[in-house]
Structure 1
């Protein structure tokens, strides 16, 4: 909601500095997103005078004008000289005073003015119409100023457009604040000041009563709670007066014509959306113009005011003349009933349409308007008649015509407002502070409530424009919000038999992060939202990841699902950091994955930990060069993490065909604990990196955090330090290329018995001539030790020979000489 400070000043006494008011609004729960001066939008737009008007040599409708803009005059040679501007308008003559947009100006709507050539002639600016300036609807010609207008003055200064606008974020439970009167009432309560609103009043109505000219029918009362229709005949449609245009443009509304501007103005003033129809576009029945509110038929069409032909779904609310649709109720009018310069008789509609139906209609049609925003937050139905009367009074004042007596009104079931019992003791108990009864009464009264004193507090009747006040706790919240939460003395909450501290699981999660940071990774937090093609771009299969959870109302158009893997978000972070000059990008994330389930209303939520390593760990120095991070760096991080969590029986398995296709073949592994899969580690496939605009290798991993929590062993077993010496022996075995390190190391460990303490691979050698084609030599360092005595050479030799024999038989290898 944009709030005009000048308009607000006319209703309530506000601080001289808008920033002071913004601070108070933020304190009481209304976020102020921006403060802007209206005139700043017309920077480099100045007043000027046309010195000459000559026909364009290569056009039959364009003119070459020389325009004096005072101190802004600048010729091609850089010396002061009137500007040459090519102009296509026809409504001006030499010596007229006009409005000029200089080169570099940006007009409302994003139009940027540049020096250009039009049909071969240089044009250094633009002579502007009111519509191009965003202050009127007239675009038939350029804007002509009075003959005494100064030359070279900034246009915003000339028009007195010094208004300041506060852009406020209004929460969905406060529909009353989507109006200037509502914001004035809120400011009055916050600052403890009275508000005064001067509303235009109708002079005596003339002509036949509305009921004799108009008939209104509502086929389904669920569509519309209240409908008020008034008629004004003999109007003259034209431009709106200056004060009206200034207020509308300050609030970000584009002017159209006097009638439409008036209905928009009343909506912004009161919060009640209105719609104006050309009365004569409605069909007659029995001498009455007929208005029917009914649900749309499936496949029915209407062309809305934006010129789009829209196909409707069954049940969408329509305003019709009994046959033809005239408007989408509560959303937008139809093109064939809009107000034009030829309109003479106008129908003013002020209604309260169903909030849920309006919301569904506007979103199903992707057609969100100022009216639909207000209706879907629940409009105050008691204000319909007053808003229609205000609009008719303004039409009578600005566009002339005769306001027909009375109104046609359908109000089948008025909403009943129930009083609320507010106890002062309850206020003190909830707030945690003693608030004076007079302060409570003053706050609620300024918010529009009616209070009757009782023995223990008040009976409070909430205003009709506050549908959110239905319980005692709602009133207490309002009192505390305005009185000031910062005035409540902070205290520790009372609790018995409660011992603070983290759970075992919380300790474990923090330990996971601590281990990864110790490995040099930085924590990242990415959005839980994902694009539908994120997994496809990363070459990740959807098998085992559940169904996508699609968002009904995504915050970002591209992110329409909840994520099913952490990897795409981390790859986006890698690309962003690399684009901004980061040498090494080492990131990890602890996050939740969402997997939809057939026949279930809620998705399955799983916790995961993932990491990526790209580039080098540090910059090169004069005495050390750092190699790019690759597969074994990521594997080392995983091994360190799982070792410190004491995950038992850790092993790595080469993925089968069709598995882990997002990783490079030969540089990928599944991580297991015994027979339980924990996740994967490997280098990301180049095709996936290309899809994320990454041009260097990235190694990564993703592990199931739920399994880590389940398998982690909190305490290690105490072992006495060895008191007897060890014996080390080397073993080089030639095996087939198909034999893996993991398989060979496990067989060595198994064959070594109790004396074998450690197995370490220290060399892999390949040579077709010395080792053989399709063969490799793997050299291990074996450590033997006994826990209760010093080993003899005979014991070690026997154990070693037994080990070698078993291993060679198991793998079909031979000792390398």
Structure 2
């Protein structure tokens, strides 16, 4: 919402410095995104006096003018000299004072003024029309003529009084009242504790025939349109708007077009009620009357909107029709070309209506057609004010368009709006706010906001009737919020909330979630956050199977085309982050994320939303130095981080199992593992397959892991079982086993530990050797350091040899292994 400081100042007493108002608005919940100086784009545009005007020697329609701009143009001795300007406007011969854009000026629309030659004659500026200055719609009549006593050299913005400050305010969806100057003035008056006075025009004279004798209105479905007011004005004279009207429409963010369109725009900015003007003569005459019918669009119906595009309509959209037949406007969004106001218009049907917020929002979104009107209807327009706003617009048509206003209006209002009173308890306000706010302040601030307030006896509740412009005020707590924000959060003393049997703090699960993040950061990873939305087909692009991940959860109204469903894995989002970093010259990436994934189920209304944790590595820990080289990230970096997590969460029986390439096609065979706790699979880790990386635009190796955080936490323990520190020496024995290449480390170690019995304390792999001659083709030698220990005695060599002999026999039998000497 663009708020003109000058316009606002006519309604409420404002601080001299707009920054003071901005500070108060932000304090009370209205964000001000920008403060703009209107008229700043008219720099180097000044008042000039035409000294002479001669015909151009080589043109039958141009003139060579000498224009005095005072001390702004001087000769070598510093004496003022006129500017020579070639001008093609027909009315320049009658000009005394004009608006002059000097060299260096940049006019609205990006027009830069430079020294030039027109038909061989040098021109050092431009005599401007209203349209060229962006302050009006008049252009064809020629340049803008100023009174003879206009002060030469004065900036045109200061002379015309169009120098203004505009506040660009972000209005939250629950405050439709602030999308109008009157509503915003009410808000400012409440914030500054100032009275608000808005002068509204009155109709001077109404003539016959009455509007009801010229127009009929019918609403097929009150759900689409809760009120429709129609007024007729005749003898309209289309032309440029008065300067004050054009300036205010410009300050509000619209371009002046003509007096009819500008009036409807001005009234919308003034009151927040969008209006639409139909050319009455373009509607079908039915026995001396025109008929307006508001109905749902029919399937396959079309309308050409004012932007020149033909729109395909659906039954969810509301249309204004000519007698229920041809659509002449999209309700709440935009008018149609077949009823457009043009230079031949003399009779206008003025619409002031209230359309369904939901239908308007969907129509605007489905057609990709957003307008100032749709923005307001989406947030809910005040149906109770439709008739009054129509009268304001009719009065301005009378004043600005020379129109005659037909008597009365056609007002179809099936279910008038009623507002129920709200009981406000001052004691409850003080209790919830934690501040000793006086009751008198509550009464006063709510009254300034437009509420009808009936104070009770001391200590008794207050009866409050909110204005119809505030649909957000429906409960006592809404009024409490209004009182508190105007009182000021900064005046509330910090305090600890009262609670019974509650000491606060984090739950055990929350502490463990935070511990996961802290552990991964300690492991060298950086936390990131990607979208919960995903591109359709992300799993297929990654070559990840959807086994156990349910169905894709589609988004009905995605924000963008590449965010059409909820993610079923965190990894695609992390890979996009890797690609982005590499593309921007950051090759070394180590990121992790904790978040939800979404698994749809055909037999469930809501998807499953488990928590996952995932990480990606690409590059190396840091750049090589002159004295040190770093290895690239590998599978073991990811595996080590998972082991660190298990240690921090005191998870026992964590193990890794070689991943089956058919089950994990997105990982490189031989460089991937399933992560298990006991027999339960909780995730995977490994090198991402190059073909999957290529589909994400990554030409580098990436290692990743993804764990089901809920399952991970289910195995976490508060305490680890205590084990005595060994006090007796162990006996170490080396064992080299020759096994087939198909035997993985986990399988061999499990068999060794099982065969070793209670005396086997530790097994450590220290060498893997392959040689087709010495070891044999398709085989490998795995050398282990075995530690035997007893908790209560020193072992003898006989005990160790006996245990070792049994171990070798069992391992040879179960694995088909040979002992390598």
1:674-713 maps to which residues of 2 (within 5 A)? 674-713=678-717
2:708 and 2:103 mapped to 1: Cα distance? Answer: 61
Does 1:749 pair with 2:742?
no
**Structure 2: gaps spanning 5 or more residues:** 74-81
SS in 2 for 1:438: helix
Closer, same or farther: CA 54–421 of 1 in aligned 2, 3 Å: farther
1:266 CA drift (Å): 0.1
Q: Is the counterpart of residue 494 in structure 1 residue 495 in structure 2?
A: no
The alignment of Structure 1 onto Structure 2 pairs a total of residues equal to 804
Give the drift of 1:711: 1.2
Counterpart CA distance in 2 for 1:567 and 1:125 is 61
Q: Hey, what does 2:780 align to over in structure 1? A: 776
My pick for the range that moved more, 299-308 or 92-101, is 92-101
Q: 530, 542, 549: which one pairs with 2:546?
A: 542
Within 5 A, what are the aligned runs for 1:656-805?
656-805=660-809
| Contact 2:635/2:703 (<8 A) preserved | yes
Deviation at 1:123, TM superposition (A): 13
Residue number in structure 2 paired with 1:375: 377
Deviates more, 1:794-803 or 1:685-694: 685-694
Secondary structure of 1:591's counterpart equals strand
Q: Report the Cα distance in structure 1 between the residues aligned to 2:326 and 2:108, rounded to whole angstroms.
A: 39
- Match in the other structure for 1:358: 360
Shift of 1:615: 1.9
1:700-751 deviation per Cα after TM superposition (whole angstroms, max 9, x unaligned):
1110011011112221111111111122222222322222111112111212
Unaligned runs of 5+ in 1: 74-81
| C-alpha contact (below 8 Å) 2:635/2:686 kept by paired residues | yes
Residue 77 of structure 1 corresponds to which residue in structure 2? none
Alpha-carbon contact 2:433-2:484 (below 8 Å) kept:
yes
Cα–Cα, structure 1 residues 173 and 91, in superposed 2: closer, same or farther, change >3 Å? same
Describe the shift of the 1:117–1:579 C-alpha distance in structure 2 as closer, same or farther (beyond 3 A).
farther
Task: Call closer, same or farther: CA 1:444–1:500 in 2, change over 3 Å.
Answer: closer
Match of 1:424 among 410, 423, 426: 426
Deviations 1:44-86 (A, max 9, x none): 8889999997989xxx99999999999999xxxxxxxx99999
Inter-partner Cα distance in structure 1 for 2:653 and 2:85 = 82
Contact 2:525 2:591 in 1 (8 A): yes
Greater shift, 739-748 or 150-159, is seen at 150-159
Matched with 2:8 is: 8
How far off its partner does 1:334 sit? 0.7
Does the C-alpha gap of structure 1 residues 704 and 287 become closer, same or farther in structure 2, counting only changes over 3 Å? Answer: same
For 1:19 and 1:532, the matched residues in 2 are separated by: 47
Q: 1:3 to 1:560 in 2, by over 3 A?
A: farther
Distance in 1 between residues matched to 2:41 and 2:665, nearest whole Å: 53
Change (3 A) 1:532 1:34: farther
Task: Specify whether residues 209 and 95 from structure 1 end up closer, same or farther in structure 2 by C-alpha distance, changes over 3 A only.
Answer: closer
1:334 aligns with 2:333: no
Is it true that 1:608 corresponds to 2:609 in the alignment? no
Instruction: Quote the residue 2:555 is aligned against.
Output: 551
Q: Deviations over 1:579-608 (max 9, x none)?
A: 555463222221111222224332211101
After superposition, the Cα gap between the structure-2 partners of 1:440 and 1:504, relative to the gap in structure 1 and judged at 3 Å, is closer
Aligned to 2:257: 256
Q: For each residue in 1:609-636, what CA deviation from the matched residue of structure 2 results, as whole angstroms up to 9, or x when unmatched?
A: 1111222212333432111112111111
Look up the match of 2:76.
none
Distance 1:94 1:14, change over 3 A: same
3-state SS of 2:217 partner: strand
Q: Do 2:443 and 2:455's aligned partners in 1 also have CA atoms closer than 8 Å? A: no
Counterpart for residue 231 of structure 2: 230
Q: 1:183: how far off?
A: 0.3
Please give the alpha-carbon distance, in whole angstroms, between the structure 2 residues aligned to 1:133 and 1:756.
93
Matches within 5 A, 1:545-624: 545-555=549-559, 558-582=562-586, 584-624=588-628
Cα drift, residue 40 of structure 1: 4.6
Go from structure 1 to structure 2 and tell me whether the alpha carbon gap of 1:312 and 1:20 turns closer, same or farther (over 3 Å shift).
same
Alignment partner of 1:385 is 2:387: yes
Q: Which shows bigger deviation, 548-557 or 750-759?
A: 548-557
**Structure 2 CA distance for partners of 1:713 and 1:768, relative to 1, 3 Å:** same
Distance 2:794 2:275 in 1: 99
Q: 1:31-430 counterparts in 2 under 5 A?
A: 31-40=31-40, 108=109, 134-137=134-137, 160-322=161-323, 323-430=325-432
Match of 2:468? Answer: 464
Which moves more between the two structures, 515-524 or 7-16?
515-524
Give the Å deviation of 1:507: 2.2
Kept in 1: contact 2:265–2:274 (CA 8 A)? yes
